Structure 1
Amino acid sequence: MAKKSSPSIPWRLLKEPAVFLALGFGSGMAPKAPGTFGTLAAIPVYGLFMGLPSLSYAAVVLALAALGVQWCGAAAERLGVHDHPAIVWDEVVGFLIAMALVPPSWPAVTAGFVLFRLFDILKPWPIRWLDKHIHGGLGIMLDDVAAGVLAAVCLRLLQDAGWLSPSL
C-alpha cells in the first residue's frame, strides 16, 4: 500500500538539514510517486558506495539507517505527519540494502529498483506488520529496511541463477 497523500510542505523546510535529507535531497517533494522518486535518488548514493569492500559498505548503510531514524523522526515531527509521503530517506536506505548482496551492474540496479519498489508498495508480511505496529523514526525506516532485505535476497537468487551481469 502506497503512502497516503498529506498536506504540502513549505519549501523553506528544505533548509533544515534533517528535513532535506529525510526528503531524499528534495526528491520526496515529487507530487506523484514520491517513494519512486526517492528510490531514484538512491541510485547515485549507491554509486558513491558500491565500490567499497563489503564490510565497509555494510557499516555505511548501517550508519545511514541509524541516522535515518533520527532524520525521519525529526522530519515527521516538523511536518506534523507520521510517515509523510515526502519522507523518502527510508527508500534510499532500503535500496542500498537491496543492492548489498550483488556485484554492481546496470541489470542489478534495475532489478533492485523494481524488486525494492514492489516489496515497498505491496508490503507482504512482515513488512506490513512493521509498517502498522512500529512508530516514530524507527517505524518509518523499518518497513523499508525489511523491503530492502527481501529485495536483496531475491537479487542474490537472480545473481546465483546467472540472470544478472557480474559487474558495472
Structure 2
Amino acid sequence: MLQELIATGFFVGRFRYAPGTVGTLLGIPLVYLFAFKWWLVAILGIFLYLVGFWACSYVVDMRKESDPEDVIIDEVLGYFLSYMLIEPTLESILVGFFTFRLLDIFKPYPINLFEKLPKGHGVMADDAIAGLINSVILFFLFH
C-alpha cells in the first residue's frame, strides 16, 4: 500500500485527466524549495529515483502493466532533474514545464530506449533522462 501511495503521488495520479501533467505539476513545489544547488538536485534526484524504483516495481508487478498511467512519481523526478543546471525562476519553471511535458509525451531518442528497461527502471529511467535532457535545453535557453 505504501508503494502505491508513493508511486501515484499520494493518489494524485488517479486524477482522471492528464495524470502525467498533474504529476509534473507536483514537481513544481519540489523545484521551488530544493533546486537552488546542482548537488542538492543530484542527491534528492538519486533518492527520488531509488524510492520511485522501489514503489514502481511493486505496482508494475502487482498490476502486470509496464507503465501504469496513474504512476506519476517518475514525472515528479523528471521535472525536478530539469533544474540540475539552472536555478528556477518563474520563467524557467513555466518553460521547463512545457519542454519536459513534450519530451515525456513524445519520448525522442535516446529517451525511448530507457522505457524498455525492466520493471521500475523502465518507469523511472525514461523520465529521469528526459529531465536531464530538459536541463540542458533550459541551460541553453536561459544562459
Q: If the TM-score is normalised by the length of the shorter chain, which range does it land in?
A: over 0.9
Query: Do structure 1's residue 139 and structure 2's residue 122 form an aligned pair?
Result: yes
SS at match of 2:13: helix
> What CA distance in whole angstroms lies between the structure 2 residues aligned with 1:46 and 1:74?
26
Matched, 1:62 2:46: yes
Report the alpha carbon displacement of residue 70 of structure 1 after superposing the two structures with TM: 0.8
Equivalent pairs counted in the alignment come to 143
Alpha-carbon distance in structure 2 between the residues aligned to 1:57 and 1:35: 21
1:1-168 mapped onto 2 (5 Å cutoff): 16-51=1-36, 53-131=37-115, 133-160=116-143
Counterparts in 2 of 1:78 and 1:47: CA distance versus 1, 3 Å: farther
- Structure 1: runs of 5+ lacking an equivalent: 1-15, 161-168
RMSD, aligned CA: 1.3
Structure 2: runs of 5+ lacking an equivalent: none
Structure with bigger gyration radius: 1
Which aligned segments of 4 or more residues in structure 1 are displaced greater than 4 angstroms? none
After superposition, what is the alpha-carbon deviation per residue over 1:43-63, rounded to whole angstroms, capped at 9, x for unaligned? 112233124x33233111111
Whether the aligned pair in 1 keeps the contact of 2:83 and 2:135 (CA below 8 Å) is yes
